[in-house]
Amino acid sequence: MTDTKEAGTPVGADLAAIELNGVKKTFHAHGDAVAAVKGIDVSIGEGEFFSLLGPSGCGKTTTMRMIAGFDEPTEGEVFLHGRNVVGVPPNKRDVNMVFQSYALFPHMSVFENVAFGLRRKGVAKSEVARRVGEMLEIVDLKGREKRRPRELSGGQQQRVALARALVNRPRALLLDEPLGALDLKLRQAMQVELKRIQREVGITFVYVTHDQNEALTMSDRIAVMNDGRIEQLGTPREIYERPATTFVAGFIGTSNVLSGTVARAGAGRAVIEPGLGERIVVPCTAAPGEEIELTVRPEKIDVRSDPPAGDGCALRGTVTEVVYLGMFTNYNVTTSTGAEVVVFVQNVSSADDVATRGDSVWLSWDPRHSYVIGA
Amino acid sequence: MTSVAAEESTGTASRRTRGRWGDRLLFGYTWLIIVWLCLPIAVMIAFGFNDTKGRLNLTWQGFTVKWYGRLFSVPDLTTALVNSLTIALVATAVSAVLGTLIGLALGRYRFRGQGALNLVQFAAISAPETVMGASLLSFFVQLNVGRGYWTIVIAHIMFSLSFVAVTVRSRVLTLDPAIDEAARDLGATGWTAFRLVTLPMIFPAVLAGGLLAFALSIDDFIITSFNSGSTLTFPLWIWGAQKNGLPPQVNVMGTLIFVAGVLLAVGNALLARRRR
C-alpha cells in the first residue's frame, strides 16, 4: 500500500472512479441491529456528477461515509479506481469530503484551512501557497485568506469547505448535503456555481441530497434511494419521466399514479377501459386481465370539457380544486376510477380558467407519457 | 433609520432615569462586596510589611520590606513551600493529561461504563473532603504504603482529575464531531488530527481545568493532612506553626502566591480576549 494519498495505482481509461459491490451496513445500537444500507451495487464514472437522492434515513449518508472511510461496510466491497479500500482509513483514501456542517477548523484562517490537506502530504511551501491561491480564486474568495471562518457568511464558509477539499485534487469529491444550511436564493446560486466548478476541475462529484430539484439540476446521473436500497438509477430525465417504482414517482416531483386491469392489448400497447369512452393507453407488453400501475406527469395532461378525439388517453373526472400559480394553474381532479389526479395547465394566453371547481371534465394525454411502474 | 435611533436614545434615557437610584445601590453594593472579599487579602499583604519584633505578627509595628529579603530564612517553611509547589505542579500536569483524555472519551464516544464514570466523577467532586481523606488514608494503610510526598501527589491527582475531565468534557460536547473527521479526511493521522485540530479547540478548557487543579492542590489542607505522613506542605506548616505565632514570611509567601495567581488570571483573560 502507498502511504500518501496522491500516489496511487495506474488508472485504466474504463476504470470506474467509484464502485460499490453488494455493500451492506448494519449498525448495532442498544442490542438492536439496524440495517442502514441493505445491498448497493453502483459504478460511478470518471468525471461524473452523481447524486444519491432520498429521504432522511434512506442510507445515502451512510453510503457516502463508507466511500470516505468513516464507516466500514458490514458486507461487500468498495473500489476506488479499481483498488479495494475496505479497511483503509479515511486519511489514506484519495477522496475528500464536504461536510453538511462545513466542519471548518475554527482556529485557523481561511488560508490555513485550505492548506491543511496539502501540508499533510508534505507539499512544498511555495507550491502550497500557489495552489491555495488558485483554488481560492476558483471559489471567488481571493483577499479573504486571513479571515477566520466565523467572520464569513454561510455561503462563503461553504466555498471554503469546497476549496479545502478540492485543492487536494482528489479522485472524487463527496458532498454531504452541502447546501442544506443556505437559504433558497443562495442555494440556487450555489447549485449553478457547483456545476461550474465541477466542469472546471473535472473531478468526479458524489452528491448526497434529499432535495430532488438540486439533484435534477446538477446531476449527470441520480440514484434514488429508499430504505437502504437503490430504487432507480438513471439520468435526471429518465428518473423524472420514467419513474421505475411508485416510491420514485412520488418522491420526484408531483406524479399521478393510476391503476387498472388491462382490457385489450396489442402492438406493444395495453389499454385499460375504466368506463364508456374512457381509455388509458400504456406502451407495455402486459396481457389482457393483468393488473398494472402507471404514472403520468401533471404537465403532460390536458383538461377539456368535451371528450377528446382520436385514440389517445381519455379519462372523465370532476374538478375538486383549482389553484392559480402564476405560470400555470393547478387542477385537482377526481377521476371516474377514484384516483386523484393533479394537472398543471400552462397559462399561455389570457384565456380564463379552463374549468372551475365542481366541473365535469375530460383529461387527455399522449400515450407516450404513460409509464408502467416496475416494467 | 433616524426614527429608530431616536427611539433607542429615548429608551435608554428613560431606563436611566427610572434606574438612577437602583443603579447607585447596585454600584455601592458591588464595591462593598469587592472590599469585603479583598480585605483579608489586604491584611495578609500588609502584615508581610509589618516590622514585628516578637514571635507574634498580630499588631502593626511599622513598615519594613526586610521580610522579603529574609524570605527563605525559615528552613522548614521553605521546604514546605517547595513541597507544595512541586506537588501542585506534578498533580496538575498528570491530572491535566489524564483528565483531558477522560473528558475527550466522555464527550466524544459512547462506551460501556460511561454513565458510571460520569457519576463517579461528580461523586468525587461533591464528596466531603474529610471522607475522601480518611478513606484514602485507610486505603494506603491497607496496602501498607508509607505516607509521604508521593501519597500526597496521588491524593491530589485523584481529587483534581475530575475537575479537568468535567471541564474538558463540556467543551468537547460543544464541538462538531465532523471537524475531527474533516481533519482525518484531509490526510491527518489520528495523532496529527488531535494535535492540530482537537487540542487547539479544547485548549481553553484544558487550561482552565489545569489552573483549577493547581489552585485546589496548592492550598489543600484536609485531604493532605490525612495522607502526608511526616511530609509538610505550606498549609500544613502554617497550621502547625500558628500556635506559636506565624513569622511574617508566611504573609510574604502568601502574597507572592496570590500575585502569581492574579497574574495568571489576568493573562488568561487577555489571551481569551485576543482569541475572540
Give the pLDDT band of residue A307 (cuts 50, 70, 90): confident
Residue of A nearest to B180 (CA): A103
Beta bridge partners of A49: A205
Q: Are residues B80 and B133 in the same domain?
A: yes
Contact B201 A68 (CB under 8 A): no
CA-to-CA separations, A297 to A147, A253, A294, A312, in angstroms, rounded: 48, 8, 10, 16
Q: What is the DSSP string of A292-339?
A: EEEEE-GGG-EEESSPPPSSSEEEEEEEEEEEE-SSEEEEEEEETTS-
CB contact under 8 Å between B185 and A90, yes or no, is yes
Type of residue found at B54? G
Q: What is the mean pLDDT of chain A?
A: 87
Sequence-ordered strand ranges (E) for chain A: 18-29, 32-44, 49-53, 75-80, 83-84, 95-98, 172-176, 204-209, 221-226, 229-234, 256-266, 269-272, 280-283, 291-296, 302-304, 313-324, 328-335, 340-346, 360-365, 371-372
Taking alpha carbons only, the member of A141, A111, A144 closest to residue A128 is: A111
Residue of B nearest to A166 (CA): B186
CA–CA distances in Å: residue B108 to residues A89, B172, B177: 19, 7, 8
- Tell me, yes or no, whether B185 and B119 share the same domain: yes
Do domains A18-94+170-247 and A254-372 share one topology? The answer is no
pLDDT confidence of residue A308: 84
**B273 lies in some domain:** no
What residue numbers bound the domain in which B43 lies? Answer: 2-66
- At residue A7, does pLDDT exceed 50? no
Cα gap A85→A73, rounded to integer Å: 11
Q: Are B179 and B121 part of one and the same domain?
A: yes
Does the beta-carbon distance from B182 to A89 stay under 8 Å? no
pLDDT of residue B205: 92
pLDDT > 90? residue A256? no
Q: What is the pLDDT of residues A191-239, one digit of tens each?
A: 888 888 898 888 999 999 998 888 998 999 999 999 999 999 999 999 9
Query: Could you tell me if B32 and B151 lie in one domain?
Result: no
Give the sign of the dihedral formed by CA A72, CA A75, CA A81, CA A85: positive
B10 plus B85 within the same structural domain: no
Predicted local confidence at residue B9, as pLDDT: 46
In the structure, how many helices (H) and strands (E) does chain B have? Answer: 13, 0
Tell me if chain B has a CB within 8 Å of the CB of A168. yes
In this predicted model, what pLDDT tens digit does every residue of A133-178 receive, in sequence order? 999 998 889 999 999 999 999 889 999 999 999 999 998 999 999 8
Q: Report CA-CA distances (Å) from A362 to A294, A307, A315, A316, B157.
A: 19, 6, 6, 5, 84
What letter would DSSP give residue B52? -
Nearest to A137 by CA among A103, A173, A167: A167
Residue A180: pLDDT over 90: no
Residue B131 placed within a domain: yes
The predicted-structure confidence for A56-102, as pLDDT tens digits, reads as follows: 889 999 999 999 999 999 999 999 988 999 999 999 999 999 999 99
- Whether pLDDT at B111 is above 90: no
Q: Which of A90, A104, A106 has the CB atom closest to B184's CB atom? A: A90
In whole angstroms, give the CA distance from residue B158 to residue B167. 15
pLDDT of amino acid B165: 95
User: Where in chain B does DSSP place strands (E)?
Assistant: none
Is A296 an interface residue toward B (CB < 8 Å)?
no
Cα–Cα distance between B108 and B230 in angstroms, integer?
43
Give CA A301 to chain center in angstroms. 25
Strands A269-272 and A256-266 turn out to be antiparallel
| pLDDT, mean of residues B210-214 | 92
Q: Check whether residue B136 and residue B215 sit in a common domain.
A: yes
Residues of chain A with C-beta less than 8 angstroms from the C-beta of B201: 106-107
One domain for residues B188 and B90: yes
Fold for the domain defined by A18-94+170-247? Rossmann fold (3.40.50)
**Do both B189 and B234 map to the same domain?**
yes
Q: What is the ipTM of this complex?
A: 0.77
Which of B:168-187 have CB within 8 Å of A?
176, 178-179, 181-187
Query: For the CA atoms of chain A, what is the radius of gyration?
Result: 25
Query: What 3-state class would DSSP assign to A46?
Result: coil
By the 8 A CB rule, do A162 and A139 touch?
yes
Q: Contact A116/B201, CB-based, under 8 Å?
A: no
Tell me: the pLDDT tens digits for B128-166?
Answer: 999 999 999 999 999 998 899 999 999 999 999 999 999
CB contact under 8 Å between B178 and A96, yes or no, is: no
Q: Where are the domains of chain A?
A: 18-94+170-247, 254-372
Identify whether residues B52 and B96 lie together within a single domain.
no
pLDDT in tens, B219-252: 899 999 999 988 999 999 989 888 888 888 889 9
In degrees to the nearest 10, what's the CA dihedral of A42, A228, B182, A164? 50
The model's confidence at residue B110, banded by pLDDT at 50, 70 and 90, is confident
Instruction: Tell me the sheet residues that pair with A275.
Output: none
- B114 and B17, same domain (yes or no): no
Tell me the pTM. 0.76
Q: Residue B142, class by beta-carbon neighbours within 10 Å (0-12 exposed, 13-18 middle, 19+ buried)?
A: exposed
> Which of B176, B185, B196 is closest, CB to CB, to A97?
B185
The answer to whether residue B53 sits within a structural domain is yes
For residue B255, pLDDT over 50 is answered with yes
Tell me how many domains chain B contains: 2
Got the DSSP string for A64-119? HHHHHTSS--SEEEEEETTEE-TT--GGGSSEEEE-TT----TTS-HHHHHHHHHH
Q: In what order do the strands lie in the sheet with A340-346?
A: A302-304, A360-365, A313-324, A328-335, A340-346
Nearest to B203 by CA among B267, B265, B263, B268: B268
HSE (side-chain half, CA atoms, 13 Å) at A24: 9
**Domain CATH number, residue B128:** 1.10.3720.10
Same domain, B9 and B126: no
| d(CA B161, nearest CA chain A) in Å | 27
For domain A254-372, which CATH number applies: 3.40.50.10860, 3.10.20.80, 3.30.420.40, 2.40.50.140? 2.40.50.140
Return the number of CB contacts < 8 Å for A and B. 59
User: Which chain A residues touch B188 with a CB distance below 8 Å?
Assistant: 91, 116, 120
What is the pLDDT at residue A350? 56
Q: What is the mean pLDDT of chain B?
A: 88
What percent of chain A is modeled with pLDDT above 70? 94
Q: Clarify whether residues B83 and B146 are in a common domain.
A: yes
Interface of A with B in 240-269 (CB under 8 A): none
Query: Is B6's pLDDT higher than 80?
Result: no
Provide the β-strand partners of residue B26: none
At residue A6, the pLDDT reads 39
Cβ proximity of A257 and A249 under 8 Å: yes
Cα A313 from chain centroid? 30
Q: Is residue B263 part of a domain?
A: no
